[in-house]
Amino acid sequence: MMNTQPNNGQLSQDFIAFSIQKQVLKFGEFKTKAGRLSPYFFNAGLFNDGESLLKLGEFYYESIQKSGIKFDMLFGPAYKGIALAAAIVIAFAKNGHNLPYAYNRKEAKDHGEGGVIVGSPLQGRVLIIDDVISAGTSVRESVDLITKHGATPCGVAIALDRQEKGLGELSAVQEVQKLHQIPVCAIADLSNLLQFIQHDPDMVQHLLNVKEYRQQYGVTF
């Protein structure tokens, strides 16, 4: 099994602080897609201004570089992945790496250039971009689309790994890695979140609820 731990140290802690500041990461009671009542919720769609998106792209850049994944271009699945992929290629360009990227339409266009792919043609090793992996549906659809166009899906980069069980005893991220045989890198994960909460006086009130949730639904490594 591939390692899902980001092990990004200060980068992960800074990202969690940034996500809380922007109210992208919230605490309370939230129902997940799996029907679980989670004590926290992460919604990357709330990075909704230029400054936030610029900084988010830089966080992804650092995480992807640390992962060592080799790739030729980025792919952002519609809709949330479109803005993420654009922000990340800008961050790479700022650091001297000019990379192509593409995204898909939900419905094929039957006029103009047509097709479902917008941006660069899918070719070579393609890194898929997403915010989190819940059921793995978006990744599966992206892998199928990339393969259909003759390119090679080589990995997935996400913002937060919730490290909780998917369909079985493996986490949703581990299921993706096992099914598609590609690595997944994350800027931060639940272990990093627990570490942050534990050492932040304003957040420590949430520690017990998050720990109990992890005990019930989390995976062990």
β-pairing verdict for 73-76 and 37-42 = unpaired
Q: Is 109 assigned a catalytic role?
A: yes
**Which residue in 218, 203, 194, 216 sits closest to 12, CA to CA?**
194
Q: Is 206 assigned a catalytic role?
A: no
Peptide bond between residue 79 and the one before it cis (omega within 30 degrees of 0): yes
User: Cα(82)–Cα(99) distance, rounded to whole angstroms?
Assistant: 15
CA count, 13 A, side-chain hemisphere, 183: 16
β-pairing verdict for 184-189 and 101-109 = unpaired
**Which residue in 190, 192, 144, 194 sits closest to 165, CA to CA?**
190
Choosing from 31, 33, 109, 178, the catalytic residue is: 109
Q: For the purposes of burial, counting CB atoms within 10 Å of the CB of 186, is it exposed (0-12), middle (13-18) or buried (19 or more)? A: buried
User: Which residues participate in catalysis according to the annotation?
Assistant: 109, 111
